[in-house]
Amino acid sequence: KIPVIIDCDTGIDDMISFVLTLSSKQLDIRGVTTVAGNVSLPYTTYNTINGLAYMGRGEIPVAAGEAAPLERSYRDASEIHGDSGLGEFTFDNPVDYGPVETGGVEFLYEKLMESKEKITILALAPLTNIAKLYLEHPDCKEKIEKIVFMGGSVFSGNPTPVATFNVWVDPEAARIVMKGGVPFFMCPLDTTREAYLTEEELEIVGTIENPVAEMVYTMCSFYWSQEKKNVNGHKRFKGLCIHDLCTAAYVTNPELFHSTRYYGDVETKGPLTEGFTMIDYEDILSKSEEEKNIDYIDSVDRDGVMKVFFEALKSY
Ligand code: BDR
Ligand code: CA
């Protein structure tokens, strides 16, 4: 089994990614850390703890990480994910236990250092926790197999034309992690937007009779209605882009993807371009293979991802 820690800002698409990761026989999930992102830290932590319990995996430890980016004030995405982060979904019987005692960064460090094997970190949120981990505990890097990150892009952005949310919220953190010397797999918006769920498929989700599928259907209906408010959103996208699900599928089913190594960096200062991920497609800046720091996931088998997702949904 692949040892994994998930770092997230749960969030509709983070929650949907759990449907796949928690049911996967390939993964050994050692813990989950939360961070401020789609909504504030209390909500992302509450959503995570309750989501794991709801999907029958309440034994997985959860630790709350950073409440704000390294240097900036925090900007959320509640207009897409709703005030609580889960659209119109609410837990009928929320669990009443809190996260583990240690903070998220210390939790990550402990879990990494106590592990015999290297651990893959599935990073589905702004990279604040992981950047802080690198700054405070650089010795942990030898215990990380790779970071698989949802974010970055070359051609398309959100919430700005050029920046993706998880980089835009904390560009300084993204730079630290991208250039941290640990294998960094970037699942960019350009690729996650290709792994869309069609409206017809969403209606099929609505016919699956289990509480997890019902939760996904409720959340997605809200998410889709918010995307459609974007003046061009429903024209541009062929369906609902569940970014974190696509990224999680890279960990469970890497055979459904293709990646290429490039040199890359993050713009942290430009008034029009802060949070833009520069990928050196033509090898203009990188003179050698050693200088390349990013495995850029540039294509996805959409039908393959939806197949494993539907299998996971039906397993609950
Ligand atoms: C990413 O940003 C967050 O809003 C989502 O949860 C996803 O991780 C999409 O840009
Ligand atoms: Ca996320």
- 81, 137, 234, 243: which is the annotated catalytic residue? 243
Closest ligand to C-alpha of residue 157 is: 1
Kindly state if the Cβ of 126 falls inside 6 Å of ligand 1.
Answer: no
What pLDDT score does 228 carry?
A: 76
Q: How far is the CA of 287 from the centre of ligand 2 (A)?
A: 34
Report the distance separating Cα 134 and Cα 173, nearest Å.
Answer: 10
Kindly state if the Cβ of 166 falls inside 6 Å of ligand 1.
Answer: yes
> In a structure prediction context, what are the per-residue pLDDT tens digits for the chain, which is 316 residues long?
999 999 999 999 999 999 999 999 999 999 999 999 999 999 999 999 999 999 999 999 999 999 999 999 999 999 889 999 999 999 998 987 677 777 999 999 999 999 999 999 999 999 999 999 999 999 999 999 999 999 999 998 989 999 999 999 999 999 999 999 999 999 999 999 999 999 999 999 999 999 999 999 999 998 888 877 765 655 667 889 999 999 999 999 999 999 999 999 999 999 999 999 999 999 999 878 999 999 999 999 999 999 999 999 999 9
Report the distance separating Cα 22 and Cα 55, nearest Å.
Answer: 8
CB contact at 8 A, 120 and 4: yes
- Check if 137 is active-site: no
Helix or strand holding residue 265 (H, E): strand 264-266
What pLDDT score does 31 carry?
A: 97
Name which of 260, 254, 240 is nearest 304 in CA terms: 254
Kindly state if the Cβ of 11 falls inside 6 Å of ligand 1.
Answer: yes
Q: Is the pTM of this model over 0.90?
A: yes
Q: How far is the CA of 228 from the centre of ligand 2 (A)?
A: 20
H, E, C per residue of 112-178: HHHCCCCEEEEECCCCHHHHHHHHHCHHHHHHEEEEEEECCCCCCCEECCCCEHHHHCCHHHHHHHH
Report the distance separating Cα 140 and Cα 113, nearest Å.
Answer: 7
Name which of 197, 247, 264, 294 is nearest 14 in CA terms: 247
Kindly state if the Cβ of 76 falls inside 6 Å of ligand 1.
Answer: no
Report the distance separating Cα 195 and Cα 278, nearest Å.
Answer: 22
CB contact at 8 A, 312 and 20: yes
What pLDDT score does 22 carry?
A: 98
Closest ligand to C-alpha of residue 242 is: 1
Position of tokens 């980089």?
A: 167
What pLDDT score does 226 carry?
A: 81
